[in-house]
Amino acid sequence: MGEYPTIPLPGYQEYPIEEMRRRLNEFYAEVSRRRTVRQFSDRPVPRDIIETALEAANTAPSGANLQPWHFVIVGGPETKKKIREAAEAEEREFYEHRASAEWLEALRPLGTDSNKPFLETAPWLIAVFLQKFGELADGRKVKHYYPTESTGLATGILITALHHAGLVTLTHTPSPMKFLNEILGRPASERPFLLLVVGYPAEDARVPDISRKQLPDFTSFIDR
């Protein structure tokens, strides 16, 4: 084995099994309350809250620790307006032409359409970019391993952190999203992964009445 620097595992905490159950049940109850919200309040959210949630996201594991993500945080009205206009144009194309009948059928219970006012109402938009490869200061390219898996994991932590803080999010994926590179000035080596809308829910916010699979329907245990 080659020489590489190590440190003692920092901050590991073991819990007695009963405490483990209690903590997990509490966590499960908390994440169960998370819903994707599509009606946002315009109430402001302090920038440091978003920054801390992003620090949490950045703790995600990533292929070879290359952290192949970049987050653009948009709080200004001018850029939000540009994003809304571009997203609505793509979404109109999608709903009117590109989406298959099967896809539209899957979306029907969610009641979504090409109108995206929340892109201007919500205090923050976080555009998540996946870096297909890294670029050193001298222009050389660094291969990234598993960037999709890694960015998905970071985004999951981000969504959970914001929920933990008492905020709501909408995972938005206008298709295609290339316009985000242009509006936000990101290089072609980065692929827009998704657009996270963040803020407080509107007072009259409603969500689709949907359900989750039961444990036996999405797991299998092997004991031998």
Which residues of the shown chain bind ligand FMN in the complex (CB under 6 A)? 35-36, 38, 110, 112, 170-173, 194, 207, 210
Burial of 53 (0-12, 13-18, 19+ CB in 10 A): buried
Smallest gap, in angstroms, from Cβ of residue 18 to ligand FMN? 30
Question: 123 vs 174, which CB is nearer to ligand FMN?
Answer: 174
Smallest gap, in angstroms, from Cβ of residue 107 to ligand FMN? 8
Smallest gap, in angstroms, from Cβ of residue 58 to ligand FMN? 20
Smallest gap, in angstroms, from Cβ of residue 14 to ligand FMN? 32
Sign of CA dihedral 126, 127, 130, 134: negative
Question: 50 vs 194, which CB is nearer to ligand FMN?
Answer: 194
Place of tokens 């007695």: 16
Question: 49 vs 207, which CB is nearer to ligand FMN?
Answer: 207
Cis ω for the linkage preceding 201 (within 30 of 0): no
The three-state secondary structure class of 208 is coil
Q: How far apart are CA 39 and CA 204, in angstroms?
A: 8
Question: 82 vs 172, which CB is nearer to ligand FMN?
Answer: 172
Question: 72 vs 159, which CB is nearer to ligand FMN?
Answer: 159
Question: 25 vs 171, which CB is nearer to ligand FMN?
Answer: 171
Burial of 83 (0-12, 13-18, 19+ CB in 10 A): buried
Helix or strand run (H / E) with residue 141: strand 141-143
The size of the chain, in residues, is 224
Q: How far apart are CA 146 and CA 86, in angstroms?
A: 29
- What is the rounded end-to-end Cα distance, in angstroms, of the chain? 33
Smallest gap, in angstroms, from Cβ of residue 5 to ligand FMN? 37
Smallest gap, in angstroms, from Cβ of residue 35 to ligand FMN? 4
- The residues, ordered by sequence, that sit 6+ positions from 142 with a Cβ below 8 Å of its Cβ are 66, 133, 134, 135, 136
